[in-house]
Amino acid sequence: MKSPIEPPVHLVPEPLDFPHIVTKASLLAALDAAGMPRELPLDAALRIAPAMSDLRDHLTGHFGAGTGMCELEGRQLAPLLPSGLHNWPVWYIRLPLAWADDVERLVSQPGFEPHLLRDDLDPWRIAQFVAMVSQPAASGWPAEARRVEVDDRAVSWTLHRGASVGGVLVLFECAGRIVVTAYAVDELLLCQLQAGDGASSRHPLFDLTLTEVQAMTRALEEGRVPDCPLDVIRLPVVHLREPAEHVAREGFTPRVNGGRHRLRPRISHILHGDGALGPLDAIVDWWPEGWARDLGPWLRLDVPPALHDCYSRDGLEVRAVEVPAEDEAPAMVVVTLSSGSNLYVAELRLDEEGVRDAVRQVCAEGRCRLALVNIRNGRPLVLDLQWPSIEVPASAGDSTAGPEQDILEAEEHPGVRRLALALSDELGVAVQLHRCLVRAVGEPFTRG
């Protein structure tokens, strides 16, 4: 029996000694030196390693007879995997018969191809996939190639362990055979993944508008799942066991420094994009079919999904309050939404002419329709808001704030802070204060 190899591969520096790379040739040489066969019939593999039968049952239990991948440690497939490979991360991948001709090309590829792509099942997530390419695309972009790929979040243990041994061992099961190869997990790959983690293109609105992403989300909620291209296999992953590195230490007690405790702030601040006051057609991009479209004034506020669910489930208290000018803060009308320890404050600052005109018209109506829009899917929660009679000033007075000011620039009004502190005192807990500015949009709410 051939002796174990420690370490299994040698790191070969590129010019300037960075990054350190692991070559495909060194990985395959390590497999050969350890005594790992490159290919064998499935029946033979099952006879050598009875644990493989349990592994395949594990895959079937999660994914039926379809494609799937199991992430495990080399020692779990002993004696099929020699002792020199027991510390390696292993991917056992079951491919459909239609991909039998691709296996040879997959095992010959020099390395993984990381790339970013919007998650088909979550339009708000730009996922990073690690691809094994069978046929490269003419553009050279991995996302257009014929490929087998896995979400990098699903294989974090592989990347951690693989970086310490130099690679990952991959066993393809297809057409009654097991074909073995290895892919490098080195500094080059880790640098590529790190660059993808911080890429600006991972923002969900990098290449699509908010309206488009919301429409995709609603389509998924209604069961319209996009088809995966026939030349792409996106592997679902099951972990045969939880690796030791992922098990949290138990019995850890944090130390208290000299018995001194820092008090939790009574208010935590969350800022949101602008709200809009105006006719319904001017303030929303989508409206549910068959819903009433009142012609009076509407106030649209964008609400995060968790808060929207809270409002829908637990209800909320809504009111409009006049807040006088104070210090350098202008007079304004605030619409407050209260539910538990969440206080959402929509600020209509009366130092802006368009907002003053709009507020006058809403005061004349005595009421306003409120559309609380789930920012994730664009679905509204509609409420009636009774509007108080307010004496709106004819001008902005001495305020120096400009109409282009946004919520990041707008100082918190002392009156708004007092509202949050009062709620904190009433509940005896810290309050999450959500703030947004409201703009007047659409005729007749803005001047031409």
Q: Is the pLDDT of residue 414 over 70?
A: yes
Long-range contacts, stretch 102-107, CB < 8 angstroms, 24+ apart: 102/134, 102/135, 102/146, 102/148, 103/172, 103/174, 103/175, 103/179, 104/179, 105/134, 105/135, 106/132, 106/133, 106/134, 106/148, 106/172, 106/181, 107/170, 107/172, 107/179, 107/180, 107/181
What's the rounded Cα separation, in Å, for the pair 344 and 190? 41
> Looking at residue 249, what is its pLDDT?
33
Contact 130, 112 (CB under 8 A): yes
Task: Say what the pLDDT of residue 442 is.
Answer: 82
The tokens describing 238, both together, are 């099951």
Report residue 91 as tokens: 């991917």
Calculate what percentage of the chain has a pLDDT beyond 70: 85
Alpha-carbon gap, residue 250 to 265, rounded angstroms: 29
Give strand pairing partners of 94. 68, 173
Note whether 343 and 419 are within 8 A (CB): yes
Contacts of 5 (CB under 8 A, 6+ apart): 30, 33, 34, 84
Q: What is the pLDDT of residues 339-387, one digit of tens each?
A: 999 999 999 999 888 999 999 999 988 999 999 999 999 999 999 999 8
Averaged pLDDT, 9-37 = 75
d(CA 180, CA 169): 7
Q: What is the pLDDT of residue 408?
A: 61
Quickly state the pLDDT bin for 241 (edges 50, 70, 90). low
Helix or strand (DSSP H, E) at 306:
helix 305-314
Q: How far is 153 from 71, CA to CA, in rounded Å?
A: 12
Cβ(282)–Cβ(442) below 8 Å: yes
Q: What is the pLDDT of residues 191-234, one digit of tens each?
A: 999 999 888 889 999 999 999 999 999 999 999 988 878 899 99
- Residue 401: pLDDT over 60: no
User: Confidence class of residue 405 from pLDDT cuts 50, 70 and 90?
Assistant: low
The distance of Cα 244 from the centroid of its chain, to the nearest Å, equals: 26
Q: Write down the pLDDT at residue 445.
A: 54
Among 49-53, 238-242, 254-258, where is mean pLDDT lowest? Answer: 254-258
* Residue range 130-162, pLDDT digits in tens: 999 999 888 888 888 999 999 999 999 999 999
156-165 helix and 187-197 helix, angle to the nearest 10 degrees: 150
Helices (H) and strands (E) in the chain, counts: 11, 21
pLDDT the model gives residue 257: 36
Residues in contact with 114: Cβ distance below 8 Å, sequence separation at least 6, in sequence order: 128, 129, 130, 131, 142, 152, 189, 192, 193, 196
Residue 278 host element (H or E): strand 275-278
Mean pLDDT for all residues in the chain:
85
158-199 tens-digit pLDDT: 999 999 999 999 999 999 999 999 999 999 999 999 999 888
**pLDDT band at residue 391 under the 50/70/90 scheme:** confident
Q: State how far the Cα of 205 lies from the Cα of 360, in Å rounded to an integer.
A: 35
Query: Tokens standing for 12?
Result: 């070969």
Residue 132 · residue 110 · CB < 8 Å: no
pTM of the model: 0.76
The answer to whether 328 and 396 are in contact (CB under 8 A) is: no
**DSSP characters for 21-56?**
E--HHHHHHHHHHHT--SEEEHHHHHHH-THHHHHH
Secondary structure class of 327 (helix, strand, coil): coil
